[in-house]
Structure 1
């Protein structure tokens, strides 16, 4: 499996399906998430985000990969997470609205596993919209 396929598998099986077995297989023991808060920069912090925050809030969550660029051991992915706000998201009660989160990730692969991650996303914009009742 090449690096782009590893990232695609992660997005489909881990983020969409919250498959913990795939997650464990794809995460390097020394994984660092450079985008996460310092207390959650390891693999379990990433799992917590998908399994405990996003999936319960958006049970029909889908990841659409728009673009992928691979260079050496890094894969850059531009993607969209879509879903319906059917569960509580932080302090926001379900609205039943369709949501969209734009994301750009850079993942460094080592030994066929996620070794490092950097990313930007529009989750803050979504939270602002929910706060304003949009």
Structure 2
């Protein structure tokens, strides 16, 4: 696949899965041997760990999720994305009850896309900056 096709796979995952909560798209976009290199300790690095985080943390804590892809750079099968994920804090998030505030999470991620599917994933985000928004 071309770099632009791989960028579109990442954009589709963000649009359909993270923001759209589409489980069929999740299944279609995950390679059978997917590895999330950024999975927290105790969480499966396979696709089941990623969907568990989305269902049990992100989607319960935030409504009206929006994703703005700010930059994407590709080289071969690897796509780097700088994005802003925002949502209204409507449920408990890491022990903090709902505040009904719109929270912004700035993220950097690298995804290996192979045959139109996520094969590997790395991400970083500023946990303290997000928690400061939730607590303020």
Q: TM-score, normalized by length of structure 2?
A: 0.90
Other-structure match for 1:118:
122
> Where in structure 1 are there 5+ consecutive unaligned residues?
none
Kindly indicate whether the alpha-carbon contact (under 8 Å) linking 2:30 and 2:118 is maintained by their aligned counterparts in 1.
yes
Structure 1 distance, partners of 2:68, 2:88, is 15
Structure 1 runs of 4+ off > 4 angstroms? none
Bigger mean CA deviation after superposition, 99-108 or 56-65: 56-65
Query: Paired residues, what number?
Result: 132
Structure 2 distance, partners of 1:95, 1:31, is 34
Kindly indicate whether the alpha-carbon contact (under 8 Å) linking 2:89 and 2:101 is maintained by their aligned counterparts in 1.
yes
Q: TM-score, normalized by length of structure 1?
A: 0.92
Structure 1 distance, partners of 2:63, 2:126, is 19
3-state DSSP class of the match of 2:63? coil
- The residue correspondences of 1:15-30 to structure 2 (distance < 5 A) are 15-30=18-33
> Where in structure 2 are there 5+ consecutive unaligned residues?
none
